[in-house]
Amino acid sequence: MKIMNLEMQYHKFLKRKFTKDLYWFEEEFDLLFKRRDKFFKHEKKIANQIINILSETINTFPNEKLQTRLVFTLNSIKNKYPKLF
């Protein structure tokens, strides 16, 4: 029982940490690109590289809820900054 409880606590910790990291990521993205109407070509390239790398992590999480949160964050960023993508 202790091992199972420890494993559940570990998964809860990972879920909280992952969620915090996603919020941090979106805030950092906002700091980089917020309040801008026009973007340079190299800024668009960087933004797309960041999103692509984050998108690739979807397959590394077997937990469907974490995948859903990641997809939600990616879509939120893309909706906020359509001129970047």
- Distance, in Å, from the CA atom of 10 to the CA atom of 5, rounded to the nearest integer, reads 9
| Total domains, the chain | 1
Domain extent, residue 7, equals 2-84
First-to-last CA distance in the chain? 49
Residue 35 DSSP code: T
- Distance, in Å, from the CA atom of 65 to the CA atom of 15, rounded to the nearest integer, reads 9
Q: What is the pLDDT of residues 4-54, one digit of tens each?
A: 777 778 878 888 888 898 999 999 899 988 878 889 999 999 999 988 888
pTM for the model stands at: 0.75
- Distance, in Å, from the CA atom of 51 to the CA atom of 29, rounded to the nearest integer, reads 10
